[in-house]
């Protein structure tokens, strides 16, 4: 487990989380603030403030409502009354954010909109619409019994805790994110070092909303590349085609149909199936001097649409 990531790394990952929630969980409609005077859970969030300003190290997270000390719908002034002055959000921005260090390590970041649901102004009346926190904040436990340590060490238990959540996984099957839109909470597991298996966990609450439609299943060619090598007066031409899916992960088992164009203008159709890395290799042996072009004609994967508009379909190399 990482003992401590740099603040730059933490801010970067949490900014990604803010952006992802901004586009995936929050819509463009004005957000009605939760009144701290009328909402019982919100009052509870303020019921036991820390002896000194700052986020408490422990407490209960109520999905879609509150974290220890503050809640969605609070104004910036109310947040800073409990947590003290935050860092960041000096200017304006759609999801202007402030962050605080949490005792024992980790950070909490609060995203704001304007009081009318529009662009945040950096003023005291901006309204909280998103709260995220990062490990090693493990004293914040949701009502479903999940903290960042559990999300890190037992991701399948995290999935089981939120049975209605949308789950995304890495190519090798490990859990990447768990988002329960109806409850208003997400956990995200970003790989830090693939070789060591270390992940960095962020979590957040947002206003509950209807789940967005599932993404369209599609494939696209991320790269097409060629390389020419001369051996004993003959040329060998290698072509590589990399195929990705809608999640930008390797698309295994896709059939790639392509066409070679040779220096004399003749052509040859070829096909191959992508490996677990999403790649196919085509090769020409005993080639001659001149220009070779490899053009992808189609990619077929069951249930997926081949997106030609964002694909790199062709590459050329000159054997000389």
158 half-sphere exposure, CB direction, 13 A CA radius: 30
Indicate whether 195 pLDDT > 90. no
Is 12 a residue whose pLDDT tops 60?
Answer: no
pLDDT band at 13 (very low <50, low <70, confident <90, very high): very low
Mean pLDDT computed over 282-299 = 95
Contact 217, 304 (CB under 8 A): yes
Determine the average pLDDT of the residues in 279-294.
95
- Determine contact, residues 246/278, Cβ cutoff 8 Å: no
> Which residues are registered as beta bridge partners of 71?
66
Contact 151, 187 (CB under 8 A): yes
Predicted pLDDT of residue 1: 38
Tell me the β-bridge partners of 269: 259
Instruction: Examine the pLDDT at 130 and tell me if it is beyond 50.
Output: yes
Domain residue limits, the chain: 7-206, 218-319
For 159, half-sphere exposure in the C-beta direction (CA atoms, 13 angstrom radius) is: 14
| Rounded-to-integer distance, Cα 271 and Cα 233, Å | 27
Residue scoring higher pLDDT (94 or 202): 202
The two three-digit tokens of residue 271, written as one number: 């096909």
Nearest residue to 44 via CA among 67, 26, 24, 76 = 67
What pLDDT score does 318 carry? 95
- Work out the average pLDDT over 185-197: 81
**Lowest mean pLDDT: which of 14-28, 148-162, 192-206?**
14-28
Question: pLDDT at position 120, please?
Answer: 86
Please compute the mean of the pLDDT values over residues 118-138 and round it to a whole number.
Answer: 91
pLDDT at 45 over 70: no
Chain segment 244-278, per-residue pLDDT in tens: 999 888 999 999 999 999 999 999 999 999 999 99
pLDDT attached to residue 172? 78
Which residues are within 8 A (CB) of 188 and not within 5 positions of it... i.e. 6 or more apart? 17, 20, 176, 177, 201, 202, 203
What is the pLDDT confidence band of residue 194, given thresholds at 50, 70 and 90?
low
Spatial contact of 73 and 91, defined as CB atoms under 8 Å apart: no
Confidence of residue 96 (pLDDT cuts 50, 70, 90): low
315 forms bridges with which residues in the sheet?
Answer: 294
Q: What is the pLDDT of residue 35?
A: 34
Q: What is the mean pLDDT of the chain?
A: 84
pLDDT at 201 over 90: yes
Q: Of 17 and 34, which is predicted with more confidence?
A: 17
When pLDDT is cut at 50, 70 and 90, the band that residue 95 belongs to is: low
Per-residue pLDDT at 304? 97
**Phi, psi (degrees; rounded to nearest 5) at 206:** -150, 170
Kindly list the distances between the CA atom of residue 296 and the CA atoms of 269, 284, 309, in Å, as whole numbers in the listed order. 10, 16, 13
The answer to whether domain 218-319 has CATH 2.60.40.10 is yes
What percent of the chain stands above pLDDT 70?
80
């Amino acid at each position: 487990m990482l003992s401590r990531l740099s603040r730059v790394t933490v801010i970067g990952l949490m900014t990604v989380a803010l952006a992802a929630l901004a586009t995936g969980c929050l819509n463009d409609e004005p957000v009605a603030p939760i009144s701290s005077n009328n909402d019982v859970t919100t009052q509870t969030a303020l019921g036991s403030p820390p002896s000194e300003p700052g986020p408490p190290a422990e407490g209960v997270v109520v999905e879609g409502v509150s974290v220890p000390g503050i809640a969605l719908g609070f104004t910036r002034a109310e947040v800073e009354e409990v947590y003290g002055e935050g860092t960041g959000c000096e200017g304006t921005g759609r999801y202007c954010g402030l962050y605080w260090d949490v005792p024992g390590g980790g950070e909490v970041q609060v995203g704001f909109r304007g009081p009318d649901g529009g662009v945040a102004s950096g003023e005291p009346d901006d309204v909280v619409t998103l709260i995220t926190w990062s490990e090693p904040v493990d004293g914040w436990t949701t009502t479903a019994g999940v903290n960042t340590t559990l999300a890190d060490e037992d991701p399948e238990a995290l999935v089981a805790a939120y049975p209605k959540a949308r789950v995304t996984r890495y190519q090798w099957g490990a859990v990447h994110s768990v988002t329960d839109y109806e409850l208003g909470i997400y956990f995200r597991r970003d790989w830090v070092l693939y070789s060591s298996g270390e992940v960095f966990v962020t979590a957040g609450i947002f206003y509950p909303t209807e789940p967005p439609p599932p993404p369209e299943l599609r494939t696209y060619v991320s790269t097409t590349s060629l390389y020419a090598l001369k051996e004993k007066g003959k040329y060998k031409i290698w072509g590589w085609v990399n195929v990705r899916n809608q999640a930008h992960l390797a698309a295994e088992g896709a059939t790639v149909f392509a066409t070679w164009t040779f220096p004399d203008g003749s052509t040859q159709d070829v096909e191959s199936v992508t490996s677990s890395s999403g790649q196919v290799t085509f090769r020409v042996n005993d080639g001659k001097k001149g220009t070779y072009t490899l053009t992808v004609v189609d990619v077929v994967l069951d249930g997926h649409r081949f997106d030609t508009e964002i694909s790199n379909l062709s590459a050329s190399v000159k054997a000389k």
